[in-house]
Amino acid sequence: MDLAPHEQSSGWKEILVTPIRDKAHIELVLSQVIKGVYAIAIIQFIVAMLLVVLESDIFYAFAATMDGVLYILLAYLTKRFHSRVAASLLAVLALITVLGSFQSISILFAVLLFWFSVRAAQCVFVFHKK
* Residue 6 confidence class, pLDDT cut points 50, 70, 90: very low
Domain for residue 65, yes or no?
A: yes
Calculate ∠ Cα 7-9-13, nearest 5°.
Answer: 140
Per-residue pLDDT tens over the stretch 12-56? 888 889 999 899 999 999 999 999 999 999 998 898 888 888 887
Residue 58 resides in a domain: yes
Boundaries of domain holding 52: 22-129
Output the CA torsion 117→72→11→128 (10° steps). -50
Task: Classify residue 85: in a domain, yes or no.
Answer: yes
pLDDT of residue 7: 46
Is 103 a domain residue?
yes
Residue 109 forms part of a structural domain: yes
- Residue 122 falls inside a structural domain: yes
Distance CA 93, CA 29 (A): 20
Residue 6 located in a structural domain: no
Is 90 a member of any domain?
A: yes
